[in-house]
């Protein structure tokens, strides 16, 4: 049985639709919740791959969240071992940081449903091939990453140029949230800190507007996520190839 390690930061950011896909594919999943275990340092050699989930912190808050530095180092080790790695939102930013790229505040926050466009390289990518020229995708972030050196830029949006990248053939960073279903989004919208952030961005009633838009877009998003993540799961069937990472 293949073993998968998942880095979690807050209880409400979970694997979502990825969970049944991974379990159906025969994975044994271990969560490391750094919110509960900030001193955790799991042995990455015991696992066949890594998924790094989102969270409200940013990559530069290592003084407040020392585990972020631990995560960056473990991400580097996993990539160097040639194992598949997937990062979502904060997870993608941590992968970018592990690969020596800059992470900084984006010019605009994206909270809710936004247009997403694959790049030319994205249209040719195995994971991103199912994406149309434009689709509405769920977002919740204020920071953005540079595309790491030697990585491939896969997707963009009007308000955030760097939405996804691939490094090698089995390391992916996604700024957006294809793992969400409607109950997960509604849970976020009713989490007090997240609701305040959404209302501060879009004004009173913004959480209700996002909930209404979710009914329009979620079916397509879930279907798309199943196809994208299903292809990522196939990365685990390739033989790991060790690689040297760029120096930081």
Given 13, 71, 179, 197, the catalytic residue: 179
Domains identified in the chain and CATH numbers: 2-237 (3.40.50.880)
Confidence band of 244 (pLDDT split at 50, 70, 90): low
Condensed to tens digits (0 to 9), the pLDDT of residues 10-60 reads 999 999 999 999 999 999 999 999 989 999 999 999 999 999 999 999 998
Rounded Cα distance between 171 and 82, Å, is 9
Q: What is the mean pLDDT of residues 184-211?
A: 96
**Is the pTM of the predicted complex or chain greater than 0.75?**
yes
Q: Do 194 and 188 meet the contact criterion of CB atoms below 8 Å apart?
A: yes
The verdict on whether 179 is a catalytic residue reads yes
pLDDT of residue 246: 62
Question: Cα 79 from chain centroid?
Answer: 16
Confidence band of 236 (pLDDT split at 50, 70, 90): confident
Given 71, 89, 110, 160, the catalytic residue: 89
pLDDT of residue 248: 58
Rounded Cα distance between 40 and 201, Å, is 34
Q: What is the mean pLDDT of residues 187-204?
A: 96
Q: Of 121, 141, 158, which is closest to residue 201 (Cα–Cα)?
A: 141
Terminal alpha carbon distance of the chain:
35
pLDDT of residue 1: 78
Condensed to tens digits (0 to 9), the pLDDT of residues 49-91 reads 999 999 999 998 989 999 999 999 999 999 999 999 999 999 9
pLDDT of residue 243: 65
Given 59, 71, 177, 197, the catalytic residue: 177
The verdict on whether 9 is a catalytic residue reads no
The verdict on whether 197 is a catalytic residue reads no
């Amino acid at each position: 049985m293949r073993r998968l390690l998942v880095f979690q930061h807050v209880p409400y950011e979970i694997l979502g639709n990825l969970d049944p896909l991974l379990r159906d594919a025969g994975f044994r999943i271990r969560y490391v919740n750094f919110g509960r275990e900030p001193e955790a340092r799991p042995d990455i050699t015991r696992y066949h791959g890594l998924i790094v989930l989102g969270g409200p912190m940013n990559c530069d808050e290592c003084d407040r969240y020392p585990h972020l530095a631990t995560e960056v180092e473990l991400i580097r080790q996993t990539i160097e071992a040639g194992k598949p790695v997937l990062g979502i939102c904060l997870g993608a930013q941590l992968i970018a940081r592990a690969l020596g790229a800059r992470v900084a505040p984006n010019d605009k926050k994206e909270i809710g449903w936004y247009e997403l466009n694959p790049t030319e390289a994205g249209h040719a990518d195995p994971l991103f091939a199912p994406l149309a020229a434009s689709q509405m995708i769920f977002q919740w972030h204020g920071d953005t990453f540079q595309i790491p050196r030697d990585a491939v830029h896969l997707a963009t949006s009007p308000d955030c140029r760097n939405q996804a990248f691939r490094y090698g053939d089995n390391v992916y960073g996604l700024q957006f949230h294809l793992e969400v279903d409607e109950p997960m989004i509604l849970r976020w919208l009713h989490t007090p800190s997240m609701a305040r952030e959404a209302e501060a961005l879009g004004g009173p009633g913004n959480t209700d507007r996002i909930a209404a838009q979710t009914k329009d877009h979620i079916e397509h998003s879930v279907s798309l996520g199943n196809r994208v993540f299903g292809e990522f799961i196939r990365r685990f069937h390739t033989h790991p190839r060790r690689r040297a990472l760029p120096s930081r």
